Amino acid sequence: MSKMSALLVTVTLLCVQVLHGLPHTAFQSKKPHGVNREPQFTEKYFSQTVDHFNFNSMGNGTFSQRYLITEKYWKKGHGPVFFYTGNEGDVWEFALNSGFITELAAQQGALVIFAEHRYYGKSLPFGKDSFKIPQIGLLTVEQALADYAVMITELKQQLAATQCPVIVFGGSYGGMLSVYMRLKYPNIVAGALAASAPILSTAGMGDPRQFFRDVTDDFASVTPECRDAVRGAFHQLKELAEHQDYSRIQSEFSLCKPPSSAQDIHQLNGLLRNAFTLMAMLDYPYSTHFMGNMPANPVKVACKTMLNGSDLLSNLRNTAAIVYNATGVLTCFDLYSLYLECADPTGCGLGFDSMAWDYQACTEINLCYESNNVTDMFPSMPFTESDRERYCSKRWSVVPRPDWLKIQFWGDALSTASNIIFSNGDLDPWANGGVRKTLSSSLIAINISEGAHHLDLRGSNDADPVSVISARKTEADLIAQWVKMEKIRLGQSL
């Protein structure tokens, strides 16, 4: 890891440049591409406090925080506010992939706001200097939550919505933020829909093997031969690497340059593993353009490819190409620009957003997940807390605090909270890092069989499984109840 980090800095900077020229091949750019922007949203900026917790710091000014808003469905002054607590990327990416929220707004007469998380997209407190030390230091979960609390409060005033209940929504890390908003600012937020929010594993309360085990299970559930073929292919790669047959590896995997070290092989293994991770997470029943382009049912497509004839290495290359060559314009695999190793073994994406996420994974968010080739099909790639510490102190001059999220956001002792939905899809490798069991009459866990990463937040689709249709119905009913109760508390006549 420590050798890697020096490389990573250079590579990260390189990639930023590469990315702008190649939005399609630069996979996981987490930027919207080729998708029509919903005309219904208006893009605006909010003047936000840079440092909410220190009046006398370099952050004593303000920055422009981006948000998207639509009043199209709103019963002015009465209907609720549906507020998406933006996560680690360009806010348009989430708005364009969370159609359920506007569908629900149409049913319930809501105002819809998608807020961009500080340090992502265009919401950079210090412009291009935001990713320098010490400017990066104001990227924390607490600052992001305070941003949302302040933004909600001021926008409600501006829009004459002070008596309108606020429901927060989020997927993945955004779902974690929506839970935290309800825990920390119940005066402002009446309820939260947290879709695929791994609030337990990221607070250090998970099994480090769980994530890649669950990725593996997705492929094994298509057919166990699929898992075995993947394991077999990685075994063949390992043998070639042991014999330092680097030119053969280059030709088998269409690499731009021959590998020349154990570090290069490690990088190749990471890049390949990440393709499986993304296909498992984004295993939707129709093709999508979210975190890259995916065909419908990518896990099935991958297994078909892995079992296409007996040349396992070529099958593995073609399977990785489903992810990295979705647009068909990749001429060769460039090991260090298609994938970045970082403090998140499930991937940080590319470009500036990846730096911000790496920093968060180096500070508050625990992502010490490992693969081991026993409980999963991948080469053994440990990532322990001490690996994390070593990497993070070198990359960002920080020492992670593994217990801090758990201490401040209640850990798993959530039973006295209220009005939170924890939804999870059974196909999603993040699911078992979250809350799977209903904890009280207002802390509701919903399972979505055949559902991938926050499928429920996506707009309705003809290919939706019945499970997600029914999950959305339950969510709509609970939210309508919370809104009704909150209107009474706020003194709105019904």
Ligand X SMILES: *[C@@H]1O[C@H](CO)[C@@H](O)[C@H](O)[C@H]1NC(C)=O
Site residues for ligand X per CB under 6 A: 56-58, 60-61, 234-235, 238, 254, 304-305, 308-309, 318, 321, 325, 328, 330, 332-333, 373, 379-380, 436-438, 445, 447
> Could you tell me the smallest distance in angstroms from the CB atom of residue 462 to ligand X?
24
* C-beta of 161 vs 471, nearer to ligand X: 471
* CA distance linking residue 131 with residue 147, whole number of Å: 19
Whether residue 454 lies in the annotated active site: no
> DSSP class of residue 65?
E
Cβ distance to ligand X smaller for residue 221 or 254: 254
User: Contact 218/420 with Cβ under 8 angstroms?
Assistant: no
User: Which amino acid, 444?
Assistant: I
Q: Please classify residue 33 by burial: count the beta carbons closer than 10 Å to its beta carbon, then call 0-12 exposed, 13-18 middle and 19+ buried.
A: middle
Read off the tokens for 472: 């959305």
Q: Are 348 and 354 in contact (CB under 8 A)?
A: yes
**DSSP SS3 for 404:** helix
> Is the peptide bond preceding residue 134 cis, with omega within 30 degrees of 0?
yes
384's tokens: 């322990």
Shortest Å, Cβ 91 to ligand X: 27
Distance CA 153, CA 246 (A): 59
- Cβ contact 404:140 at 8 Å: no
Buried b (16+ CB within 10 A) or exposed e, 351-375: bbbbbbbbbbbbbbbbbbbbbeeeb
Residue whose structure tokens are 């939550």: 145
Mark whether 147 is an active-site residue.
no
Smallest distance, ligand X to C-beta of residue 476, A: 17
**Those residues with Cβ within 8 angstroms of residue 265's Cβ, 6 or more apart along the chain or in another chain:** 237, 241, 249, 259
In the complex, minimum distance from the CB of residue 236 to ligand X, in angstroms, rounded to a whole number: 9
Q: Of 90, 147, 283, 428, which residue is the catalytic one?
A: 428
Output Rg (C-alpha) for the chain, integer angstroms.
Answer: 22
**Segment holding 432, helix H or strand E:** none
315 Cβ partners below 8 Å, 6+ apart? Answer: 229, 233, 305, 306, 307, 308, 309
| Residues whose CB is less than 8 angstroms from the CB of residue 459 and which lie 6 or more positions away in sequence, other chains included | 98, 99, 100, 102, 103
Q: Which is nearer to ligand X, 18 or 321 (CB)?
A: 321
Nearer to ligand X (CB atom), residue 79 or residue 232: 232
CB of 455 to ligand X, least distance (A): 15
Minimum CB distance to ligand X, residue 179 (Å): 16
Please state the closest distance from residue 277 (CB atom) to ligand X, in A. Answer: 16
CB of 340 to ligand X, least distance (A): 19
One-letter amino acid identity for 370?
E
In the set 5, 123, 130, 172, the catalytic residue is 172
Any idea which residue has 């924890």 for tokens?
422
Asked if 78 is an active-site residue, the reply is no
Name residue 371's beta-bridge partners. Answer: 381
Of 453, 454, 456, 467, the active-site residue reads 453
The answer to whether the CB of 196 falls within 8 A of the CB of 425 is: yes
Active-site positions read 172, 428, 453
